[in-house]
Amino acid sequence: MIWGLIARFEIIRMPLPIVYHPHYVTPLPEQHRFPMPKFRLLHDYLLAEQVTTAKAVYCPERVSPAQLALVHTAEYIQAYCNGTLSPQAQRRIGLPWSEGLVKRTCTAVGGTILTAQLALEFGIACNTAGGTHHAFPDYGSGFCIFNDLAVTTRVLQQAGQVKRILIIDLDVHQGDGTARIFQHDPTVFTFSMHCEVNFPSRKQQSDLDVPLPEGLDDDGYLQILAQHLPDLLSQVKPDLVLYDAGVDTHVGDRLGKLALTDYGLYRRERMVLESCYAAGHPVAVVIGGGYALDIQALVARHALVHRAAQTILTAS
């Protein structure tokens, strides 16, 4: 396992701030391919493995309709929350509507807002959900209903907490909804590094898109990321980085098509978080996609970014 290669810390000097709510999990039909249990299991894993402490777990409030309306249309918000979306619109999302899913969705968006606020306070903070980057202003897509990255950006900007934001999206799928929302906004820089031949078939235009060939491995992936990351930080000079740390780039992911290993993912997380933190840019992490059949392996994979974040905070 990866921890044969990564030294494990023994003393937590500064507990990693993480965000979690029991509402992050709601029932789905049996055999649905969206791995809903992973959010609760990730929270439990982080505590059991002493990646953080119970006192450093923050519980978010639900995002308000007014906050959602900073990004999404009133018609779409109302239709989704009331369960009156058309069957076609529901199929595009890929998750069956329920009151529990509405609660889960709005709580997870609230969780990313809280994670960003904690990042501004502590330097790094991690959500145990989030990364719904396929949601557009007036429709959802690809398991994404409301765009937590975009809503968080607008909430913090409106409150005067930040001016300029960099979104680093390393999920295997392009952050098409996020790209469209901020396409002509100079205050938000969108960077998406994704598998070229994967969903969505119709890509949007981010400020910087880096399409990757199918089957790319650790060394090739990390070399490409290292070519772009330092220049991004020095040119954008963000007040906050929102980092979508999707693990569907893993070789064992059902929806991936890239070939990163666990250790490659950990090296990626260290590269992103250390680069941001060392340069003085607060970074808020969301977990993004991950669809492996082995749920325990998937949870451990999502936890890599939390482990990397805690190692950096412990060393500071």
Q: Which residues are catalytic?
A: 134
Distance in angstroms (rounded) separating the CA atoms of residues 260 and 245? 13
Of the chain, the end-to-end C-alpha distance in Å amounts to 27
Cβ-Cβ contacts under 8 Å for 301 (sequence gap 6 or more):
247, 250, 262, 265, 290, 292
Closest by CA position to 308, among listed 1, 3, 55: 3
| CA quadruple 283, 141, 178, 157: dihedral, nearest 10 | -70
Residue reference for tokens 């929302």:
181
Asked if residues 270 and 313 have their Cβ atoms less than 8 Å apart, the reply is: no
Task: Please answer whether residues 134 and 294 qualify as being in contact, where contact means their C-beta atoms are separated by less than 8 angstroms.
Answer: no
